[in-house]
Amino acid sequence: MKSYDVAVIGSGPGGYVAAIRCAQLGMKTAIIEKYSTLGGTCLNVGCIPSKALLSSSHHYEEATKHFEEHGIEIPGDIKVNLEKMIGRKQAVVDQTTGGIDFLMKKNKIDVFEGLGSFVDATHIKIEGKDAQEIEAKKIIIATGSKPSTLPFITLDKERVITSTEALKLKEIPKHLIIIGGGVIGLELGQVYRRLGAEVTVIEYMDRILPTMDAGLSKELNKVFKKAKCKMMLSHKVQSVERKGDEVIVKAENKKGEVVEFKGDYCLVSVGRKPYTAGLNAEAAGVKLNDRGQVEVNEHLQTNVSNIYAIGDVIKGAMLAHKAEEEGVFVAETMAGQKPHIDYNLIPGVVYTWPEVAAVGKTEEELKADNVEYKVGQFPFRALGRARASGDIDGFVKILADKKTDEVLGVHMIGARCADLIAEAVTAMEFRASAEDISRMSHAHPTFAEAVKEAALAATDDRALHV
Ligand code: FAD
Ligand code: NAD
């Protein structure tokens, strides 16, 4: 029987990063993945394919709607070849997952293909291509998550679908009904709206992206409405029924009226749930909580001292970079180091256009905590760079402590915000004040100038260009 210092179950961004860091720290490491490709949800059916389709559909929208204003004329019709677009997405996925194979080899990590299940706290049975039992002194559970649904919905995966199917449709829906105005619903909704589908978003709460700062929800809602998406807020879905090629969704509005929607596809994007099926966690004595998450302490250690858990299968935001941080954290903890993760500083990004990004506390959270704060906001339309490229929607908002000026939260919506948020994370990691940011030189003309201007506005209302 092969024996390891560490075995990682699951090869998503949590698992494969943990494996690499363990190997870097000198541990003999194995990784077990039930699918034939590495990379988990993120690389195969999550972050990477969704961003590939967002990019392709963005190009299409630019070509059909904005090239003309730049003086670019294309003779004849511009058409979408969906098969080719999905094919390109798959090529990007294949290249990216292939890159993980390379990283495993480079770091001398043994890869086992098959379902891993606990025999006891130090033995894992692998069923599948590389069937065998292995032994490991320490084990990291990184089994991720799966889409969740509503109890009355039958996901047939043809017309009533999750994000996984939405990433490989064979036709552009005529009318895509989306249940859940969260990250997946909005990203994939925008993809298909750009490609020509009618899109209706049905959201239970009174705003989309309900966990983000309300200012961002409001601004993105405007963008979706401008693109003629139907935004049905405060609607509680009651039933989803498929009749042939038609899907009928009924939802109750605030007045108690039942509203009916008819479409040809329905995307269910109401969140994801931790995945531990087949893991046989009981055999090792590992406890799950009542939400199905693996229970961990502040060292990300389960109740069984040699077994750790990371990523979507434990509490916290279901984000690839959060899983990665935890992978590194656990590897370094096992090596006797004292790593640290500041969960308040894990940024959240929605890759719509304009992009939405945030880090730290929202205004709603600061109010609830009775923190006295000041606000500095700057609109992108006041920036030369934004006007030059034609991306004028959105703003940067900085929230700073009223007395100390320390930055407590940064919320932005606009072009390139997914990348701009890194400056805010760096600043907050070093506990910068708004004035610190405002006194740093920002290259001109850039979108990043909006961050400096918002910081000036937060410092003492002295933005220069509004
Ligand atoms: P996963 O990536 O889910 O990986 C777990 C792996 O474990 C899987 O490969 C699974 O097959 C394997 N596994 C499970 N059980 C076993 C077992 N018993 N034996 C062997 N293998 C097993 N996050 C972002 O930060 N940015 C984004 O832009 C983003 N976009 C997304 C878009 C979509 C459509 C979706 C669905 C998700 C997106 N996410 C995004 C979320 C992100 O994908 C997850 O947070 C991330 O993948 C979690 O990583 P993980 O390692 O915890 O688990
Ligand atoms: P989500 O939690 O972002 O959004 C779910 C939405 O569905 C919420 O707005 C919620 O209020 C709504 N909802 C819940 N029940 C409902 C009901 N009965 N009727 C109508 N609406 C209802 O979940 P998601 O969009 O499915 O994404 C799952 C996870 O994947 C998220 O945790 C997210 O972090 C991750 N993800 C991240 C990215 C990114 O980082 N860009 C992209 C995609 C997914």
Q: Is 461 exposed, middle or buried (0-12, 13-18, 19+ CB in 10 A)?
A: exposed
Give the distance, in angstroms, between the CA of residue 448 and the centroid of all CA atoms in the same chain. 23
Q: Which of 143, 294, 350 to mutate to test the pocket of ligand 1 (most atoms within 8 A of CB)?
A: 143
Q: CB of 137 within 8 A of CB of 306?
A: yes
What is the value of pTM for the model shown?
A: 0.98
How far apart, in whole angstroms, are the C-alpha atoms of residue 44 and residue 37? 8
Q: CB of 448 within 8 A of CB of 378?
A: no
pLDDT at 463: 83
The per-residue pLDDT for range 203-224, each reduced to its tens digit, is 999 999 999 999 999 999 999 9
Q: Which residues lie below 8 Å from residue 271, measured CB to CB, with a gap of 6+? A: 147, 148, 180, 182
Ligand nearest to the backbone CA of 309? 1
pLDDT at 282: 98
Per the structure block, which two tokens stand in for 271?
A: 């969140």
455 CA to middle of ligand 1, Å? 35
Please indicate if the annotation marks 55 as binding a ligand.
no
pLDDT at 165: 98
How far apart, in whole angstroms, are the C-alpha atoms of residue 443 and residue 430? 21
280-284: which pairs have CB atoms within 8 A and are 24 or more residues apart? Answer: 280/117, 280/118, 280/119, 281/118, 281/141, 282/118, 283/117, 283/118, 283/119, 283/120, 284/118, 284/120, 284/121, 284/139
| Phi, psi (degrees; rounded to nearest 5) at 398 | -115, 130
Provide the 3-class DSSP secondary structure of residue 176. strand
Instruction: Give just the sign of the alpha carbon dihedral 173, 176, 180, 182.
Output: positive
How far apart, in whole angstroms, are the C-alpha atoms of residue 303 and residue 220? 42
Chain length of the chain: 466
How far apart, in whole angstroms, are the C-alpha atoms of residue 218 and residue 78? 32
Q: Does ligand 2 lie within 6 Å of residue 269's CB atom?
A: yes
Low-confidence ranges of the chain (pLDDT < 70): none
How far apart, in whole angstroms, are the C-alpha atoms of residue 381 and residue 413? 12
DSSP code per residue over 112-172 = EESEEEEEETTEEEEESTT-EEEEEEEEEE---EEE---TT----SSSEE-HHHHTT-SS-
DSSP code per residue over 382-446 = G-HHHHHHT----EEEEEEETTT-BEEEEEEEETTHHHHHHHHHHHHHTT-BHHHHHTS---SS-
Q: Ligand 2: which residue has its CA nearest to atom 23?
A: 271
Residue type, 266: C
Ligand nearest to the backbone CA of 46? 1
Please, what's the b/e burial string for 179-217 (b: 16 or more CB within 10 A of its CB; e: otherwise)?
bbbbbbbbbbbbbbbbbebbbbbbbbbebbbeebbebbb
Q: Ligand 2: which residue has its CA nearest to atom 43?
A: 184
Cα Rg of the chain, angstroms:
24
Q: Ligand 1: which residue has its CA nearest to atom 40?
A: 47
pLDDT at 461: 81
96 CA to middle of ligand 1, Å? 14
Q: Does ligand 2 lie within 6 Å of residue 351's CB atom?
A: yes
Which DSSP state fits 447? T
Domains, the chain, in order of start with CATH, read 2-146+273-341 (3.50.50.60), 160-270 (3.50.50.60), 345-458 (3.30.390.30)
Residue 292, number of CB atoms within 10 A of its CB:
14
Residue type, 401: D
The per-residue pLDDT for range 123-132, each reduced to its tens digit, is 999 999 999 9
Q: Which residues lie below 8 Å from residue 217, measured CB to CB, with a gap of 6+? A: 207, 208, 209, 210
Please indicate if the annotation marks 318 as binding a ligand.
yes
How far apart, in whole angstroms, are the C-alpha atoms of residue 410 and residue 421? 8
Please, what's the b/e burial string for 418-430 (b: 16 or more CB within 10 A of its CB; e: otherwise)?
bebbebbbebbee
